[in-house]
Amino acid sequence: MHTIGFVIFPNFYVMGLAAITAFELANVVLEERAYDVTVLSEQGGLVMSSAGIRVESQPFGKAAFDTVMFGSGVEIDVVSAALTGFVRRALKTSRRIAAPCTGAFILAHAGVLDGRRATTHWRFAHDLQRHFPKVVVEEDQIFIVDGPIWTSAGMTATIDMALAMIEKDHGQEVSRAVARKLVIYHRRAGGQSQFSTLLDLEPKSDRIQKAIDYANANLRNALTVDELADVAGLSPRQFSRAFSAETGQSPAKAIEHLRVEAARLLLEKGRLSLDVIADEVGFSDRERMRRAFLRTTGQPPQAVRRLSRETRGPVAA
C-alpha cells in the first residue's frame, strides 16, 4: 500500500483536497486499497480552510510516507520551523514530495527547490523567482517533475499532477479510468501551457464567439476571412474589424495561436510525427508549423515535445 501524507495549514485552499479524491478513485478502479491518505498539520486537530470549512488532521510525527503532498493557500509565506523541518525530513524519507500552486513556496522556504525546476500558479511565478532566485521557475507549465519533487500550477492542475502520479504508479489505463470517474479529460501533460488561447480571446459578441468555435473545430480548413465571416453572418470587412476590436488580435494571428495550441497537445501525446501533426492542425507543412511555434512560444516543436517528455518523467509499464 502506498501511503500519502497531505499537509494542510490555516487558510488552505479546499481545492487541493481534490487530489485525495483522485487517489480514492484509484482504489476503486484497482479494487484494493492501493493508496492510504492521512491529512497532516503542524498541531493536528481541526484546521480552518480559506472557505471556512474545518478539516480534521493528525499532527506531524515520526511516521514516514511514500508521498507527501503540501497544500496551497491564500498566503505565500506559510512558514515555521516545524513545517520547514518536516519538508526536509520528508525529502529524505519519502519516495516523492509534491506541492501545487503556492505550496511551492513552502518547499522553497525549506531550500529543497534550490537548483531545481519548479512551477506554481502563473499569478505567483514572478514572486517565487524573485524571493528564491536559486529556483529555476517555469511559469508556463501545468506541472513539473524534477527528481523526487513535483510542483504544479494552481487549482485543477492539482488533479493533473495526482493523475500523473497514479499513471507512474499503476500505468496509463488506471489513470485514464480514474479521469473518467472524475468526469474530466485524461490528465494534461506536464509540459502543457497554463494559458488557453480560447480564454485569452474572450470575444464580446456571440457572432465572433461562433466564428472562433467554428475555427477551433475545423483547424484543418483554410479558415479564410471570407469563411469565418460567413459563419459570423458578417461581411469580410465587418468581421475583420469586429474580430480585432473584440479580441485584440487579427483573425490570422488568432487562428495561428489556435493551431499552435492544438499542435502542442498532439506533441505532448508523443505518438504522431511532426508532418502528421502539421497536417492535422492546418499547417500545410512542418516548416510553417516550426515558424509559427517560434513566433508564438519561442521554441521549435521538437523542443516542446522534448520538454514534455522530460517533465512527465518515466511512466511505469
Where do the domains of the chain lie? Answer: 2-181, 197-312
Find where cell 512558514 sits: 79
Contact between residue 120 and residue 139 where contact means Cβ atoms under 8 Å apart? yes
Question: Strands 2-7 and 45-48: what pairing?
Answer: unpaired
Domain 2-181 has CATH 3.40.50.880: yes
In angstroms, the CA 298 to CA 12 distance is: 36
Q: What is the pTM of this model?
A: 0.65
CATH topology of domain 197-312: Arc Repressor Mutant, subunit A (1.10.10)
Digit-coded pLDDT (tens) for 171-218: 988 998 998 898 775 555 545 455 556 556 778 899 998 999 999 899
Q: What pLDDT is attached to residue 317?
A: 30
In angstroms, the CA 38 to CA 28 distance is: 18
Q: What pLDDT is attached to residue 47?
A: 95
Q: Which helix (H) or strand (E) holds 100?
A: strand 96-100
Residues of the chain with pLDDT under 50: 190, 192, 313-317
Q: What pLDDT is attached to residue 202?
A: 75
| DSSP of 225-274 | HHHHHHHHTS-HHHHHHHHHHHHSS-HHHHHHHHHHHHHHHHHHHT-S-H
In angstroms, the CA 21 to CA 37 distance is: 10
Find where cell 457572432 sits: 207
Find the distance separating the first CA and the last CA of the chain, reported in whole Å: 18
Q: What pLDDT is attached to residue 189?
A: 52
Contact between residue 16 and residue 151 where contact means Cβ atoms under 8 Å apart? no
